[in-house]
Amino acid sequence: QVQLVQSGAEMKKPGASVRVSCKASGYTFGTSDINWVRQATGQGLEWMGWMNPDSGDASYARKFHGRLSMSTNTSITTAFMDLSSLTSEDTAIYYCSRGAWLELLDYWGQGTLVTVSS
């Protein structure tokens, strides 16, 4: 069965960077985009971007341009999300999700809490 397992909670200081990983299993990793979605405290779901593991094509939401980078390592079927210049407004639960043309986002990771605090 399809599974996405994310790395553990992170605590960062303002100005730092964070990397969250997402290990995929149960399907052919390269055939589906990996999307990243976050939920800040008290806010709704916010789509951040997607990346295709095979082609390396990616697209990021405009508000994260310059701070957000996604990558994948196909040999270990793992996707990574790097967010830099963190502020307290980046405190959120970050989710990876598999993209599917008709379903949009069909399977989700368990979420990773990133806390930004001095």
Partner 1 sequence: QSALTQPASVSGSPGQSVTISCTGTITTFTTYNLVSWYQHHPGKAPKLIISEANKRPSGISDRFSGSKSGATASLTISGLQAEDEAVYYCCSYADTDSFDKLFGGGTYLAVL
Residue in 1, 8, 13, 44 binding partner 1, rule: CB under 8 A: 44
> Is 112 among the residues that bind partner 1 (CB under 8 A)?
no
Please, what is the Cα angle at 19 between 27 and 30, to 5 degrees? 20
User: Least distance in Å: CB of 55 to partner 1?
Assistant: 12
> Is 23 among the residues that bind partner 1 (CB under 8 A)?
no
Tokens of 39: 């939920």
Considering CB under 8 A, how many residues would be counted as binding partner 1?
25
> Is 33 among the residues that bind partner 1 (CB under 8 A)?
yes
Site track for partner 1 across 56-85, x = CB under 8 A:
---x-xx-----------------------
> Is 108 among the residues that bind partner 1 (CB under 8 A)?
yes
Helix or strand or coil: residue 89? helix
β-partners of residue 95 are 37
> Is 53 among the residues that bind partner 1 (CB under 8 A)?
no
Based on the number of CB atoms within 10 Å of its own CB, is 38 exposed (0-12), middle (13-18) or buried (19 or more)? buried
Nearer Cβ to partner 1 (16/91) = 91
Q: Where are the beta strands (DSSP E) in 1-111?
A: 3-6, 10-12, 18-25, 34-40, 45-51, 58-60, 68-73, 78-83, 92-100, 104-108
Nearer Cβ to partner 1 (13/62) = 62
